[in-house]
């Protein structure tokens, strides 16, 4: 997702927007404390924002489980 920064596309698809995938469970489990965990979530949130705002016309977000 970070590689899309500065680019634009007619359509963007972001797949795997599920807990445990975004962010990865491994990154969350490796957090040393609450501050590091907050930084992990914030960094993932920023990357997702970058990915979603690259779409000029169409945006598709998918996941395995129902989301809102």
Q: Sort 40 into a burial class: Cβ within 10 Å, 0-12 / 13-18 / 19+.
A: middle
| Predicted pLDDT of residue 31 | 86
CATH class of 2-61: alpha beta
Instruction: Give residue limits of the domains in the chain.
Output: 2-61
Entry pTM: 0.77
In contact, 60 and 12? CB cutoff 8 Å: yes
Q: Which element (helix H / strand E) includes 56?
A: strand 55-61
Residuewise pLDDT in 10s, the chain (68 residues): 878 888 999 999 999 888 888 888 888 888 889 899 889 889 889 989 999 999 999 999 998 877 66
| Predicted pLDDT of residue 68 | 60
């Amino acid at each position: 997702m970070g590689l899309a920064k500065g680019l634009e596309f007619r359509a963007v698809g972001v797949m795997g927007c599920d807990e445990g995938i975004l962010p990865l469970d491994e990154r969350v489990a490796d957090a040393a404390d609450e501050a590091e965990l907050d930084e992990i979530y914030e960094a993932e949130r920023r990357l997702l924002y970058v990915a979603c705002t690259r779409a000029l016309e169409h945006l598709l977000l998918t996941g395995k489980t129902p989301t809102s």
